[in-house]
Structure 1
Amino acid sequence: MNTLPVVVVGAGPIGLAAAAQLRERGLTPLVFERGLVAGAAVGEWNHVRLFSRWGELIDPAARRLLDATGWVAPDDDAYPTGQDWTRDYLSPLAAALGDFVQLGTEVIGVARRGRDRVVDAGRDTEPLSVHLRHADGTEDRVLAQAVIDASGTWGTPNPLGGEGLPALGEKTAAAHIEYRVPNIDDPEVRDRYAGKHIAIAGSGHSALTAIVALAGLEKQAPGTRISWVLRRGDIGSTFGGGEDDQLPARGALGLRAKAAVDDGLLTVVTGFRTATIEPDDGDSKVALVSDTGARIEDVDRVVVLTGFRPDLSWLSEIRLGLDPVLQAPVELAPLIDPNVHSCGTVYPHGVAELSHPEPNVFLAGMKSYGRAPTFLAMTGYEQVRSIAAALVGDHDAAARVELTLPETGVCGGAGVFDDPDTPAEAVEASAGCCAPPDPQLITLTTRAGG
């Protein structure tokens, strides 16, 4: 029997669930988290309320582990914020896992012991070598029988540029740009946006969340104005399934954002692919310039919510089998590709779809989806359940589906726990199959000043 640990990268919801599943199967998990607390990434969006109920946000093995500690479970039908999720679930779960979770420890590389990616011999017999950097700057390595990368994509947001690369001048204009939903309840953050011209770029649920928050600010702070910048040619099904969405909180968000547009609280700019960000009014403001030369000028703050992508740099010595488009495992990509999936659910999946040419290396959770935006926490829980079963040789359990996902009621729907944006192209490709009728809105063309 292999006595080496299974290394789990990331102490977020999926990483901690993986540890609980592995522990229940009699394996030794070793979770490495770069942050100083469990759920460090979730802590960066504490103010955002999730679309999923508590009952859909707790992994079954984690629940069993917590129940044994006397943990009081939240109301299954309530909707937590990120802060609630961390305080009432992730932190207690990390505590219950004890020394299996090591905080302040970053995984900086994974390889097969004594071999780079070119060497064939021993890839199915030698253990995996996991290189670590600790908070004090020291480095070491541990050997593992398997690695589950549940590090997510939060640290690598997509840029504003319409080509997938940063717009010209985007890095120079960094002081004007935020790649997260602003927490307007924080007085310091609120002051940065009140009375300013704000450009929100993106067409997914993060963008809708920002619209709802900032539209309320426009009512309260004179001079606040909002330009909603969309790459696609029209709004179409951007507002989602509304009352038909079986994640009711997500449907309600779309309806609130639609109401803000209907009420004239923001200017909608469509067909705008940002190519350049230029200084405006000295360096105090910026202008967004599209690839056709259209301009949005006099912008104080830009909120870029165009999705996320995986960081694969520290896996360079591992033989990954990734789809060239989505950067997701090749067997998983057809199940989640927003360019071809019209609506409804992503099929539940497990170890068969998550395996790579490198034995016993798995991407799980949001990172497994690459650039696809359709991830739900409960999907990740099913992934790690299947992986844990496979690692102990229980192939029947690994292949068995133990998850039913809620219907989205939208095409190209994104309901995820940290709201990455739905690419405009994906929405356009799937529009019209089962979405509600397009909202009757006046969409303003691009003009100077917003």
Structure 2
Amino acid sequence: MIATATATATATADQLPVLVIGAGPVGLAAAAHLVERGLEPLVLEAGEQAGAAVREWAHVRLFSTWGEVTDPAAEKLLAPTGWAKPDAETYPTGGDWTEQYLQPLADALGDKVVRVGARVTGVSRSGRDRIVDADRDTQPFTVHVTYADGREERILARAVIDASGTWGIPSPAGGDGLPALGERAAADRISYRVPDLKDPAVRARYAGKRVAVIGSGASAFTALASLADLAKSADGAGTHATWILRRGISGSTFGGGTADQLPARGALGLAAKAAVDEGHADAVTGFRTEAIHRDGERLVLVAEDGRRLAPVDEVIVLTGFRPDLSFLDELRLGLDERLQAPLALAPLIDPNRHSCGTVYPHGVNELSHPESGVYLVGMKSYGRAPTFLALTGYEQVRSVVAAIAGDRESAERVELVLPETGVCGGAGLFDQAEADAAPDGGGCCAPAPALVQLGVDAPAAPGGC
């Protein structure tokens, strides 16, 4: 039973659904765990299809194998439908992930559980704004929804799991965290996503051009490697990248390399390094962008220290993503002032101190807020930190759902082993043949990643998998 605010204000907590925001990998996994526990889920997805954000990078090959990007409860739900899990040792693209796993999972849950074209615009306590203390914890949540056709609805929920991710808010080019002067005016020449160079129109946009790439993470690595591959092709002669880093280059700049337990992730850093070493990209360090000026048909980037770079044709800004907290403003969240992640989780995921492997698995204790019953999970739980893996999100929702179901012992028994070293967030650079040959996608005994040529599967995945 889905209770609307207009239909009933007297429904008891155990009669109300657990509302999940976002039908991505972690949101759908949360729904599967709720079904397994006998609880009623309702998943609201702003996009037109399940996995809408992943579909936007369908051309990307993940650096995690199939065995690392499916959830056990989801697999149990899919089994009666005849679903067959893909080879656990191969590497899916974002398109593979959506078509072979996320969409079948959404179909198995059904359209009464997964509503698409449903954007959450606000979450609060029924009859209580942020200020009111009286009987606050006894009131259900009220979730305000706007549908694609303009309809509005108010839905009551016993708990809220926000798995809406961070894909919708890329960080700007400005070194101070704000858009650089002129950044908005130059929007026609700036992209905040790694381009799909297999798309003829996109390829034509960058072929033979000078391109500035701003960022130091896995997405930037793959953009550099992809542009280098384009420069080597017959139609891309003259393509050249200027790689802009806010810091200097150190031994860890290119990630885990041959020591990385995820071979594809290690190969990613090696390919970016090769782009620089082979002269397809120049690195500019300590450059914090203050302004972007037009110079005829080109753009000139200016740093806070006054340095001006040679004009470029295009700019690709890959400086991370941010959580949308606007629709949660009436809730009492406990968030770290720097990362915008839950207070207990933030010290564990500080990107200045941790990689994927050094962030120990966590669950409901680290994800709880002063407002009981609301949880930020998945990439959104990491706020501005980039070091997220799908396995982490699946363990988060397993723990959170156990807590909602009243099984505290299971909720606090967090068991998960994550790969060590290297940066997280990004795609692998294995082509399909090499991906199929990779023996286990990780572990201490995995072979050292080889530097591979791009061209079949290139760009970088956001958020990390």
Q: TM-score, normalised by structure 2?
A: 0.87
Q: Alignment partner for residue 75 of structure 1, among 87, 91, 96?
A: 87
Q: Which of 117, 123, 130 is residue 104 of structure 1 equivalent to? A: 117
Go from structure 1 to structure 2 and tell me whether the alpha carbon gap of 1:239 and 1:417 turns closer, same or farther (over 3 Å shift).
Answer: closer
- Runs (4+) of structure 1 exceeding 4 A deviation are 416-419
Report the equivalent of 1:158.
171
1:40 is matched with 52
Residue number in structure 1 paired with 2:424: 414
**CA offset digits 1:265-321 (Å, max 9, x no partner):** 11111111100000112xx21100000111113211100000011110110100000
* Count of matched residue pairs: 415
* Superposed displacement of residue 235, structure 1: 4.7
Where 1:298 maps in the other structure, the secondary structure is coil
- Residue in structure 2 matching 1:227, options 231, 242, 247: 242
- Asked if residue 252 in structure 1 is aligned to residue 264 in structure 2, the reply is no
1:296 alignment partner, SS class: coil
**Which amino acid is the alignment partner of residue 29 of structure 2?**
A
After alignment, is 358-367 or 214-223 more displaced? 214-223
Query: Are 1:376 and 1:417, in contact at CA under 8 Å, matched by a contact in 2?
Result: no
> Equivalent residue for 2:159?
146
Contact 1:10–1:34 (8 Å) recurs in 2: yes
Q: Structure 1 CA distance, aligned partners of 2:336 and 2:276?
A: 37
**What do residues 29-50 of structure 1 show as CA deviations (whole Å, max 9, x unaligned)?**
0000000100000011111111
Which residue identity lines up with residue 275 of structure 1 in the other structure? E
1:343 CA displacement = 7.6
Distance in 2 of aligned mates of 1:90 and 1:342: 27
How far off its partner does 1:382 sit?
0.3
Match of 1:446 in 2: none
- Taking the aligned partners of 1:300 and 1:139, their CA distance within structure 2 comes to 43
* Displacement after TM superposition at 1:236 (Å): 3.7
- The answer (yes or no) to whether the contact 1:280–1:297 under 8 Å persists in 2 is no
Q: Which amino acid aligns with 1:50?
A: L
Asked if structure 1 preserves the Cα contact closer than 8 Å seen for 2:267 and 2:428, the reply is: no
Instruction: Provide the residue aligned with 2:187 in structure 1.
Output: 174
Q: CA deviation at 1:25?
A: 0.3
Q: CA deviation at 1:405?
A: 0.8
Match of 1:328 in 2: 341
Deviation at 1:402, TM superposition (A): 2.3
- The whole-number CA distance in structure 2 between the counterparts of 1:162 and 1:180 is 18
Query: 1:117 pairs with 130, 144, 154, which one?
Result: 130
> 1:217: Cα distance to partner?
0.9
Q: Is 1:93 matched with 2:108? A: no
Instruction: Name the counterpart of 1:291.
Output: 304
Partners of 1:417 and 1:120 in 2: CA distance: 46
User: Offset of 1:335 from its aligned partner?
Assistant: 1.0
Aligned residue in 2 for 1:3: 15
| 1:102 aligned counterpart, secondary structure | strand
Deviation, 1:344, is: 3.6
The within-5 A match list for 1:4-43 is: 4-43=16-55
The alpha-carbon distance between structure 1 residues 390 and 134, as it changes in their structure 2 partners (threshold 3 A), is same
Structure 2 CA distance for aligned equivalents of residues 26 and 243 of structure 1: 45
Q: Give 1:253-332 correspondences, 5 Å limit.
A: 253-281=268-296, 284-332=297-345
The question of 1:337 aligning with 2:343 is answered: no
Within-5 A mapping of 1:379-398: 379-398=392-411
Which string of whole-angstrom CA distances, capped at 9 and with x for unpartnered residues, describes residues 78-123 of structure 1?
0001001001000000000002100010000000001110000122
1:259, CA displacement in angstroms? 1.4
Give the TM-score normalised by structure 1.
0.90
Instruction: Indicate which of 70, 75, 79 corresponds to 1:63.
Output: 75
Measure, in 2, the Cα distance between the counterparts of 1:166 and 1:257.
26
Kindly indicate whether residue 224 of structure 2 is the aligned counterpart of residue 211 of structure 1.
yes
Amino acid at match of 1:228: W
Q: Deviations over 1:110-162 (max 9, x none)?
A: 00001110000122100000000000011111000000000000001110000
CA displacement 1:320-372 (0-9 Å, x = unmatched): 00011110000111111122337842110001110101110000000000011
**SS at 2:164 equivalent:** coil
Query: C-alpha separation between the residues in 1 aligned to 2:106 and 2:253?
Result: 37
CA contact (8 A) 2:332 2:370 kept: yes
Amino acid of the residue matched to residue 282 of structure 2? T
Q: Give, in whole Å, the separation in 2 of the partners of 1:342 and 1:198.
A: 29
Could you tell me which residue of structure 2 aligns to residue 84 of structure 1? 96
Q: Distance in 2 between matches of 1:79 and 1:172?
A: 39
Q: 2: distance between equivalents of 1:405 and 1:348? A: 8
8 Å contact 1:374–1:416 — kept in the other structure?
no
How many percent of aligned residue pairs carry the same amino acid?
65
SS of 1:218's partner is: helix
CA contact (8 A) 2:194 2:316 kept: yes
* Native 8 Å contact 2:218 2:427 kept in 1: no
1:251 and 1:93 mapped to 2: Cα distance? 30
Q: Please point out which of 368, 375, 378 is paired with 1:355.
A: 368
- After the TM superposition, which residues 370-385 of structure 1 pair with which residues of structure 2 at under 5 Å, given as runs? 370-385=383-398
Structure 2 gaps of 5+ residues are 1-12, 430-447, 449-465
| Residues 343, 2 of structure 1: alpha-carbon distance in 2 compared, 3 angstrom cutoff | closer
Q: Distance in 2 between the 1:171 and 1:163 partners?
A: 15
Query: Hey, what does 1:51 align to over in structure 2?
Result: 63
Q: Which residue of 1 aligns with 2:212?
A: 199
Match of 1:319, SS state, is coil
Amino acid across the alignment from 2:210: H
Query: What RMSD over aligned residues (CA atoms) do the two structures have, in Å?
Result: 1.6
Identify the residue that residue 432 of structure 1 maps to in structure 2.
none
Q: 1:206 deviation in Å? A: 0.2
Rounded to whole Å, the distance in 1 between the matches of 2:310 and 2:271 is 27
Amino acid at match of 2:390: A
Cα pair 1:107 1:130 within 8 Å, conserved: yes
Alpha carbons of 1:308 and 1:343: their partners in 2 closer, same or farther (altered >3 Å)? closer
SS of match in other structure, 1:381: helix
Equivalent position amino acid for 1:333 in 2? A
* Cα contact 1:234–1:271 (8 A) shared by 2: no
